[in-house]
Amino acid sequence: MFSNRVADRVKQLKGSGIREFFEIAQNMEGAISLGVGEPDFVTPWSVREACIYSLEKGYTTYTSNLGLIELRDALSNTIYKETGVYYEPGDEILITTGVSEGLDLALRAIINPGDEVILHEPSYVSYNPCVVFAGGTPVSVATVVDDQFKLRAEEVEERITERTKALILNYPNNPTGATLDRKDLEELADVVIEHDLLVVSDEIYGRLTYDGTHVSFSSLDGIKERTVLLNGFSKAYAMTGWRLGYAAGNRDIIEAMMKIHQYTMLCAPITAQMAALEALRCDNEVDRMVSEYNRRRRLMVEGLNEIGLSCFEPKGAFYTFPSIRDTGTGLTAEEFAKKLLLDEKVVVIPGSVFGACGEGFLRCAYAVSQQEIREALERIERFLSRICIR
Kindly state whether residue 390 falls inside one of the protein's structural domains.
Answer: no
Looking at the fold, whether 106 and 156 belong to one and the same domain comes out as yes
Residue 363: give its domain's CATH number: 3.90.1150.10
Average pLDDT, the chain: 94
Query: What stretch of H or E contains 71?
Result: helix 69-83
Residue 36: Cβ within 10 Å count: 16
3-state class (DSSP) for residue 245? strand
Total domain count, the chain? 2
DSSP per residue, 320-332: E--B-TTS-----
Domain around 308: 3-43+284-385
Span 312-325, average pLDDT: 96
Looking at the fold, whether 270 and 301 belong to one and the same domain comes out as no
Boundary (domain end) residue, out of 280, 300, 325: 280
- The pLDDT tens digits for 5-23 are 788 877 777 766 666 666 6
Boundary (domain end) residue, out of 280, 310, 343: 280
- The pLDDT tens digits for 180-202 are 999 999 999 999 999 999 999 99
Residue 265: give its domain's CATH number: 3.40.640.10
Looking at the fold, whether 310 and 367 belong to one and the same domain comes out as yes
Kindly state whether residue 175 falls inside one of the protein's structural domains.
Answer: yes
Boundary (domain end) residue, out of 280, 301, 316: 280
Looking at the fold, whether 177 and 159 belong to one and the same domain comes out as yes
Kindly state whether residue 61 falls inside one of the protein's structural domains.
Answer: yes
pLDDT of residue 134: 96
pLDDT of residue 390: 45
Looking at the fold, whether 61 and 31 belong to one and the same domain comes out as no
Looking at the fold, whether 207 and 332 belong to one and the same domain comes out as no
Span 76-88, average pLDDT: 97
Contacts 24+ apart (CB under 8 A), 359-362: 359/332, 359/333, 360/323, 360/324, 360/325, 360/333, 361/122, 361/145, 361/321, 361/322, 361/323, 361/324, 361/325, 361/333, 362/309, 362/321, 362/322, 362/324, 362/333, 362/336, 362/337
